[in-house]
Amino acid sequence: MPASSYQSGTNITKRQGRSDINSQTALLSNFSLATNQVLADSTSKPPFREGIEYRYEWEASMESDSGVNNQVATSTWLRGQLYVITKVEDTKWRSLLKIKNVSLAIKHGEKSSPTGNAFIELTELNEQLSKPFHLLYSGSKVCFQNQSGKVEGAAFPDDKEPLWSTNFKRAIASILQVDLSGINNYIYSDKELSLYGKCEVNYYSSPMGENQHSVTKHRDLDSCPELPLGRWRTFIDMPSCPGGGQQTVAGLTSTAAYVVAINRGYPELLKIESSGVVWLDPFGVDKSSMKSKTNVTLHLEKTRRSTESITPAKLAFKDHLKFVFQREEKTLDLKAAQNLMLHPESLIYGQENLRRRSQLDLINAVEFLSAESYTSEQRISMDVLPLSAISYQLGSLDYANAKALYKELAIAPKNEKLHSARNIFLDLILHSGSNVGVILIRDLILEGSLDVWSAARLVAYAGIYVKEPSEKLLLEFQQITEAKISGEGDQLNVFKNAAILAVASLVGKTCSAPRVCRTVKIDEWQKKYYGIIASSSNSFADRALYVHALQNVGYGHTLDSMLEMAIKRAPLDDESANDLRVYIIKGLAPYKTQAKVWNILVRLLRDVKDNFRVRIAAAQVILDEHVTTEMLQLMQQLLSSENNSQVRHYVISAIKTIANNHNPCNTHV
């Protein structure tokens, strides 16, 4: 600027300066008010312009890992395109959504994103996800309301569409809503529909420049009608403290972040990132035993004008986005975030290719375990890098290919590498939770293909990992108790006992409430087992075996009879009778919240004339897992007058353990 101009500028009088400053301030104030009004008008509208087609590129990942080895994960990745068209019909904002060109990748092992060529388009996946669905946004063309960015309802025209597909679309719908009415306040709250019901959400906004805003929302899941003690927590099988008043030992979070731009008076979602985590949490999220994380990212790629009609006749909108459950007893396995589709490998590779791939992986695993000097106990640990991946893909095999793979690995019994691969295969297919694995083990035993020790070891946990128990599976597996297997006295007894306990475990898992079996009557099993236990003509070994079997099924209708056996005092030197009572008492843990059971446990603990092992068993049940102030006061009273050194030592040791294990359910005491 020339000096004369500068000097001229500096010679303005103070009065003139005040006048100009006031004018400038008034102008800026009016401009700010106008800008805020435009922003307010924009944020009261849905996030899509009428008659415009929006195309988003999206990617979703579902990843599960263990807190023991959080560098290793099992993950499923989906990506595709989402098209959104919005129109006003009957004064309502309605959006038509179409998902197209979906591809899938799966990955086991070290955490990283899959490469582009790992994604495969699947006809089965696209056929369902490509079916259009509709959203109804709150507000109207006549009078915009401050909540027009919120979803009011959803409709899925094809009533035969599978639940996994509609649930995925509900998740997408819950993401495509953002309340911008408080965007100028930076921090504000609202209520929105979600997978968990209508929940409170907390918003945080900040300007980014270039007419864009960053908006983040966190769902307050404690406010949801389905949480924390409702249907969703039951579905994901989250353990919680008794009474619901203390901290839960599992957690769930849900967050979404948006980049919002104002375009021609409408808010547009340029980018969306949504994240949700479910974790089992005995000692805090950072040390959780299992964690499943879901991420969804959408980028706006293109917009164009559209004249497509979006609403078919008689479209029924449901005023919720809640997750719909397959059946009442369904639970979510936290080890399988891939619940969108169970075991997709068979769809990707085909059964024969999957079998060949599994054979090679098993042989490589033998070499890996040998090179790393793993012990025999560690060979089935899911924290060993290749084993969780192999187990998961073995769960995708059908029976014919699982049996063929076994034969291929058993073709040369003297080949040490193949023999080890065969044994690992049998362990891992059971760990996968596959029903095929359970039936394969049964058939191999019935055919005499397994030695008695291997048969006993495999049968012992055959039903433990089953993810989809069914009455059909139970009835077929029951045949294992009639197996004729080569072996000598003790060997045969070990196998027989393992088979009895395995069947009992599967009965309990399949037919316990709320599940109901048509053919198998669980009360008949309970009565049968109790009859053997109560008969003094049976050996102590048989009676003790069936106490454990009854515990696997559940005491159920025999609970009162078992309580009578527990309190029936035996001579102090009758070890067998008192040991049987100990076994019975330890099976009372699931029922200790019942008043009659609690009173008997306290009675047994306080009876100084009873066998000390019986009294310690009662203390173990009382202090099992979660403790209350009442329990600790009981122990304090006991220690003030207890003379038996074994009982005193156990109680003091147990309380020290409770104090040091940081269980969140016990911190209040």
The CATH code of the domain that includes 269 is: 2.30.230.10
> Given this model, what pLDDT does residue 458 score?
93
Torsion sign (Cα): 461, 464, 467, 468? positive
> Given this model, what pLDDT does residue 5 score?
33
Q: Are residues 8 and 134 in the same domain?
A: no
Q: Are residues 187 and 301 in the same domain?
A: yes
Q: Are residues 53 and 19 in the same domain?
A: no
- The answer to whether residue 193 sits within a structural domain is yes
- The answer to whether residue 279 sits within a structural domain is yes
Question: Residue 193 contacts by C-beta under 8 Å, 6 or more apart in sequence?
Answer: 150, 151, 152, 174, 177, 319, 320, 321
- How far are the Cα atoms of 382, 441, 473 from residue 434, in angstroms, in the given order? 16, 11, 11
- Our measurement of the distance from residue 178's CA atom to the centroid of its chain's CA atoms, rounded to an integer in Å, reads 26
The residue whose two tokens read 């070499």 is 367
Q: Are residues 29 and 158 in the same domain?
A: no
- The answer to whether residue 451 sits within a structural domain is no
Q: Are residues 11 and 97 in the same domain?
A: no
Q: Are residues 21 and 146 in the same domain?
A: no
Are 144 and 45 spatial neighbours (Cβ–Cβ below 8 Å)?
Answer: yes
Map residue 86 onto helix, strand or coil.
Answer: strand
Q: Alpha-carbon distance 521 to 513, whole Å?
A: 12
Q: Are residues 22 and 67 in the same domain?
A: no
> Based on the structure, what is the number of domains in the chain?
3
- The answer to whether residue 271 sits within a structural domain is yes
> Given this model, what pLDDT does residue 63 score?
78
Q: Alpha-carbon distance 428 to 414, whole Å?
A: 22
- How far are the Cα atoms of 451, 460, 464, 539, 549 from residue 499, in angstroms, in the given order? 14, 7, 12, 19, 10
Token pair recorded at residue 360 = 């090679």
Map residue 155 onto helix, strand or coil.
Answer: strand
> Given this model, what pLDDT does residue 660 score?
78
pTM of the model: 0.64
> Given this model, what pLDDT does residue 85 score?
93
- The answer to whether residue 104 sits within a structural domain is yes
Are 615 and 605 spatial neighbours (Cβ–Cβ below 8 Å)?
Answer: yes
- The answer to whether residue 12 sits within a structural domain is yes
Token pair recorded at residue 231 = 């249907």
> Given this model, what pLDDT does residue 8 score?
30
Q: Are residues 213 and 283 in the same domain?
A: yes
Are 274 and 30 spatial neighbours (Cβ–Cβ below 8 Å)?
Answer: no
> Given this model, what pLDDT does residue 243 score?
55
Of 299, 323, 339, the last residue of a domain is 339
pLDDT along the chain (669 residues), means of 10: 33 39 39 40 71 94 64 78 88 89 81 80 87 84 52 89 86 88 84 86 90 90 61 44 52 85 86 82 46 86 84 76 58 35 52 85 83 59 64 84 95 91 92 89 94 92 82 93 87 93 93 86 95 94 96 95 96 94 95 94 95 96 82 89 94 87 66
> Given this model, what pLDDT does residue 230 score?
38
> Given this model, what pLDDT does residue 135 score?
92
Of 320, 339, 358, the last residue of a domain is 339
Q: Are residues 24 and 132 in the same domain?
A: no
Q: Are residues 107 and 198 in the same domain?
A: yes
- The answer to whether residue 521 sits within a structural domain is no
Q: Are residues 18 and 110 in the same domain?
A: no
> Given this model, what pLDDT does residue 277 score?
77
Q: Are residues 73 and 208 in the same domain?
A: yes
Question: Residue 493 contacts by C-beta under 8 Å, 6 or more apart in sequence?
Answer: none
- The answer to whether residue 593 sits within a structural domain is yes
Segments forming the whole domain that contains residue 611: 555-669
Token pair recorded at residue 218 = 């966190």
The residue whose two tokens read 């509900």 is 170
Of 307, 339, 371, the last residue of a domain is 339
Q: Alpha-carbon distance 162 to 36, whole Å?
A: 46
